[in-house]
Amino acid sequence: MFAMSSPIQIDEEAAIVAQARLGDAKAFSELLSRYEGKIFRLALHITQNREDAEDVLQEAFLKAYEHLDQFQGQSKFYTWIVRIAVNQALMKLRKRKSDRSVSLDETIDTGEDTVAREIAAWDENPEQQYSREEI
């Protein structure tokens, strides 16, 4: 069964959010301590990488802090921070996909032998340059 939040818990959270919106750092710290574990586990589940999950956690709470004035209060703060964290995690995955890098120092294992990585030169080879200059 799903655990329902009691009206007291919701009212308490709304009061904490209201204090945080007024610039109370302790109030925002309370929100952070309430939800950081859940948000970290969510980020870790999505990214499958501890360092990325830590980044997502930081970025999500930073965004929440910076945009706290945009929180409308129609849902729980937790629902809002989850949405921010999911978006941050998905952006992290997209960035990771485009940031793939390969070390030129690593060799390629072909199963029978190892081969050094080489960078292909796209310019003409000396023979092509010579034949072009003769024409």
Question: How many domains does the chain contain in total?
Answer: 1
Is the residue at 135 inside a domain? Answer: no
Arithmetic mean of pLDDT over the chain: 85
Please state the rounded mean pLDDT for residues 27-33: 96
Is the residue at 108 inside a domain? Answer: no
CB 71 within 8 A of CB 17: yes
Q: What is the pLDDT of residues 57-102, one digit of tens each?
A: 999 999 999 999 999 989 999 999 999 999 999 999 998 877 666 6
Is the residue at 111 inside a domain? Answer: no
Q: What is the pLDDT of residue 98?
A: 73
Is the residue at 33 inside a domain? Answer: yes
Q: What is the pLDDT of residue 1?
A: 46
Q: Is 32 helix (H, G, I), strand (E, B) or coil?
A: helix
Q: Residue 55 is part of which domain span?
A: 7-98
Rounded Cα distance between 43 and 114, Å, is: 37
Q: What is the pLDDT of residue 125?
A: 74
Residue 47 has pLDDT above 80, yes or no: yes
Q: What is the pLDDT of residue 11?
A: 84
Is the residue at 85 inside a domain? Answer: yes
Is the residue at 124 inside a domain? Answer: no
Is the residue at 106 inside a domain? Answer: no
Rounded Cα distance between 73 and 68, Å, is: 10
Q: What is the pLDDT of residue 2?
A: 47
Q: Count CA within 13 A, CB hemisphere, residue 23.
A: 0
The CATH number given to whatever domain includes residue 41 is: 1.10.1740.10
DSSP string, 102-132: --TTSEEE-SS-EEE--PPP-S--HHHHHHH
Of 73 and 40, more confident: 40
Write the DSSP symbol of residue 75.
Answer: S
- Percentage of residues in the chain having pLDDT higher than 90: 59
Please state the rounded mean pLDDT for residues 29-46: 96
Is the residue at 119 inside a domain? Answer: no
Distance set, CA 26 to CA 18, 22, 30, 38, 55 (Å) = 12, 11, 6, 20, 22
